[in-house]
Amino acid sequence: MSNSLNIRGLVVLFCLLLSLFALVPTMMRGDVPTWWPETFGPIQLGLDLQGGMHLVLGVDVDKAVESRVDTIIDQTDIRLREQDIIYKRIERRQGDRLVIQVYDEEEGRKVDALMTEEFPALEPATMTGAGGYIEKHYRLSDDEIENIKDYAVSQALETMRNRVDQFGVSEPTLQRQTGNRILIQLPGVDDPDRAISLLGKTARLEFKMVDETANIQDALAGQLPEGTELLYERNVNRATGAESETPLVVSTQTVLTGDLLADADVRIDTRFNEPYVSIDFNAVGARRFDQITAANVGRRMAIVLDDTVYSAPVIRERISGGSAQISGSFTSQQATDLAIVLRAGSLPAPVEILENRTVGPSLGQDSIDSGIKSIWVGALLVLVIIIIYYQLSGLIAIAALTMNLFFIAAMLSMFGATLTLPGLAGIVLTVGMAVDANVLIFERIREELALGRAPKLSIESGYSKAFSTIIDANLTTLLAALVLFQFGTGPVRGFAVTLSIGIIASLFTAIFVSRFIFDFFLKNRNVKRLSI
């Protein structure tokens, strides 16, 4: 008996020391050797408590498929011309379909031969289109479409990770979720609008030749020459800072894209003392830029970012250095952000915000403060009632409850769990259940005493009779908590985690620890009356 008491004492002591060890980094933030927090990190607070941003972004994967088809069209167009194949029109239909219209079957066979050689993955079909033309249809296979979509999401995730790294957020979370969704959590972000525009900007940089022959008035009325499109140039008045837009007709063909960039940096233009973004092409890009500028001296080239023209300078001479500059009356922050997104690369497809939760740091602090205050008040009330009602035995229950909270905190740290508001709710529920476990035991002991049994015997049978009740009640709740953890999302999970941890801690303290304290005090005494 005494031997088992020693062993149980050692178990309780070990658990207390381990918990203390795990909680030191939480209690003394920063003032401990670095190996310590690396073993047991401080308890992490959820975004609802510490402030920050929670974003779910959806990647428009259909656009990624469309742009893949567009690329194939551009390449096919070039090959068709090279081989002198006569065709009426080449276009994309229904997102994933490439259609080439030809005049007769002979040309059609040439088209087929070319396409099987160049793009064997496409599924061909022949149809008679409007006006009796032969239409050659090519479709991406379902597998290929899946691949493109999947790649687009992982590529977008990678790009955003680069951007976040350069933005400088401590401990960001970026995760791919089911389907085409990306979850991003940025703790402690103080400028949410800037973060959103940095993350969500597609940053597709394109160079296109300006069509000077086109009539702007006709273009605005919707009459565009074949192979051109209408874009708007962004102008900022240096004196007033007001933004305006000028329409510009450019060729649909992109001569160069931002994929071929090696670097982007912010520089200061000494003439107007305003920042611009200087870009350097990689070897391939530099060669192509050299060719394009050589071939188009005297024409205007539009620098287009996400379908907005930033500038359209006249090419004065061949540029062979492989660098260019994007100016557009930026503020220094705009220029910095533009350089970041250009360096990090463009998103393969546009993204949209599906969910955005931003909690300012002051609100987070207020929530913690009032949450903690209310828990303290509640706990004090419980303490008073338990001690009044159960006297000295009540003190044992309080000791067990305090240890319970201590163990819960320690386990949160050990498992690296995140504490959220619903998580606090889970803790309140488990503390309630821990109180209940003690009450159950004490009521049983009272019943036994009422039957005239001796104190020690009453404690013994009180615990053993309450045991199955407590186990059943707690295990059912634990079961529910585990199911919720498995199937729930976000807040439901936060609740399930603390509830599971709390139930384990409260089972241990209510059944094991409080029993140990009872036995410890009654060890060598022959108690006649139990203070309960």
Partner 1 sequence: MQLIKPDINIDFIGKRKIALVISLVLLLAGAASLIGHGGPHYGIDFAGGTLVQVQFEQQTDAREITAALTDLELGTPVVQRFGEEMNEFLIRVERTTGELQGVSSDITATLEQTYGAGQVEVRRVEMVGPQVGKDLRNKGMLAIFYAMLGILAYISWRFEFRFAIGAIIALAHDVLITLGMFSLFAKEIDLPIIAAFLAIIGYSLNDTIIVYDRIRENMGKHNKESFIFILNRSINETLSRTIITSGTTLLVVLSLFVLGGGVIHNFAFAMLVGVLVGTYSSIFVASPLLLIWQKKAAKPA
Closest separation between CB of residue 415 and partner 1, Å? Answer: 19
Q: Are 98 and 138 in contact (CB under 8 A)?
A: yes
Member of 11, 73, 224, 354 binding partner 1 (CB under 8 A): 354
Are 422 and 491 a contacting pair, CB within 8 Å?
yes
Listed in sequence order, the residues at least 6 apart from 447 whose beta carbon sits closer than 8 Å to its beta carbon are 462
Per CB under 8 A, the list member of 94, 374, 464, 531 interacting with partner 1 is 374
66 or 447: whose CB is closer to partner 1?
Answer: 447
Please report whether residue 196 would count as binding partner 1 according to CB under 8 A.
Answer: yes
Question: Are 395 and 442 within 8 A, CB to CB?
Answer: no
| 2 belongs to the binding site for partner 1 (CB under 8 A) | no
The token pair at 440 is 């159950």
224 vs 429, beta carbon nearer partner 1: 429
* Cα–Cα dist 526/518, whole Å: 13
- Judged by beta carbon, residue 101 or residue 420, the one nearer partner 1 is 420
Is 487 a residue that touches partner 1 (CB under 8 A)? yes
Tell me the CA end-to-end span of the chain in Å, nearest whole number: 24
User: CA-to-CA distance for 468 and 207, rounded, in angstroms?
Assistant: 75
Residue 431 in the binding site for partner 1 (CB under 8 A): yes
Residue from 315, 484, 504, 522 binding partner 1 (CB under 8 A): 484
> Between β-strands 44-45 and 418-419, what pairing exists: parallel, antiparallel or unpaired?
parallel
Q: Which of 357, 416, 457, 521 binds partner 1 (CB under 8 A)?
A: 357
Which is closer to partner 1, CB of 85 or CB of 431?
431
What is residue 93's three-state secondary structure? Answer: strand
Q: Compute the least distance from the CB of residue 498 to partner 1, in Å.
A: 10
Closest CA to 247 of 228, 264, 261: 228
Q: Residue 60's closest CA among 149, 158, 189, 185?
A: 149
Cβ-based nearer residue to partner 1, 139 or 163: 163
Q: Minimal distance in Å, beta carbon 385 to partner 1?
A: 6
Which is nearest to 396 in space by CA: 271, 530, 300, 219? Answer: 530
- For partner 1, which is the closer residue by CB, 73 or 482? 482
Residue 187 interacts with partner 1 (CB under 8 A)? no
The residue within the footprint of partner 1, chosen from 353, 392, 457, 527 (CB under 8 A), is 353
Which residue stretch of 28-36, 190-198, 249-257, 330-338 sits at the interface with partner 1 (rule: CB under 8 A)?
A: 190-198
Selected from 67, 155, 367, 461, the binder of partner 1 by CB under 8 A is 367
What is the spatial distance between Cα 292 and Cα 301, in angstroms, rounded to a whole number? 10
Specify the residue, 263 or 472, whose C-beta has the smaller distance to partner 1.
472
CA–CA distance from 319 to each of 165, 208, 325, 363 (Å)? 33, 16, 12, 54
Part in contact with partner 1 (CB under 8 A); list of ranges 19-27, 145-153, 406-414, 422-430: 422-430
236 binds partner 1 (CB under 8 A): no
- Compute the least distance from the CB of residue 95 to partner 1, in Å: 19
The SS3 call for residue 377 is helix
| Cβ 513 to partner 1 shortest distance, Å | 19
Stretch that binds partner 1, among 26-34, 72-80, 138-146, 478-486 (CB under 8 A): 478-486
Could you give the C-alpha distances from 328 to 303, 308, 310, in angstroms and in order? 10, 11, 6
Q: Cβ 207 to partner 1, closest distance in Å?
A: 24
- 495 touches partner 1 by CB under 8 A: yes
Question: How many residues sit in the footprint of partner 1 (CB under 8 A)?
Answer: 81
* Planar angle of CA 350, 352, 358, nearest 5 degrees: 135
- Which of residues 354 and 399 has its CB atom nearest to partner 1 in the complex? 354
- Under the criterion CB under 8 A, does residue 531 sit at the interface with partner 1? no
Q: Which residues contact 319 (CB under 8 A, 6 or more apart)?
A: 289, 290, 293
* Least gap, CB of 242 to partner 1 (angstroms): 16
Q: Among 277-285, 297-305, 403-411, 484-492, which window interacts with partner 1 (CB under 8 A)?
A: 484-492
Residues in 45-64 that interact with partner 1 by CB under 8 A:
48, 56, 58
Neighbours of 109 (CB within 10 A): 12
Here the tokens at position 210 are 């300006």
Task: Calculate the dihedral angle through the C-alpha atoms of 19, 22, 24, 27, rounding to the nearest 10 degrees.
Answer: -80
Counting contacts by CB under 8 A, is residue 356 touching partner 1? Answer: yes
Contact 287, 268 (CB under 8 A): no
* C-alpha–C-alpha distance, residues 115 and 520, integer Å: 87
For the segment 282-321, give every residue that binds partner 1 (CB under 8 A): none
- With left for phi above 0 and alpha for psi between -120 and 50, is residue 77 left, alpha or beta? alpha
Which residue is it, tokens 């908590």? 481
- By residue count, the chain amounts to 532
Using the contact rule CB under 8 A, the part of the chain among 151-159, 296-304, 316-324, 380-388 near partner 1 is 380-388
Nearest to partner 1 of 136, 163 (CB atom): 163
Question: Which of positions 436-455 make contact with partner 1 (CB under 8 A)?
Answer: 436, 439-440, 443, 446-447, 450
Q: Is 386 in the site for partner 1 (CB under 8 A)?
A: yes
Nearest to 54 by CA among 155, 181, 209: 181
472 binds partner 1 (CB under 8 A): yes
* Binding status of residue 188 toward partner 1 by CB under 8 A: no
DSSP reduced 3-state for 247: strand
Chain positions 99 to 118 lying near partner 1, rule: CB under 8 A, are none
CB-wise, 197 or 282, nearer to partner 1?
Answer: 197
Q: How far is the CB of 410 from partner 1 (least distance, A)?
A: 22
Using CB under 8 A as the binding rule, whether residue 229 contacts partner 1 is answered as no
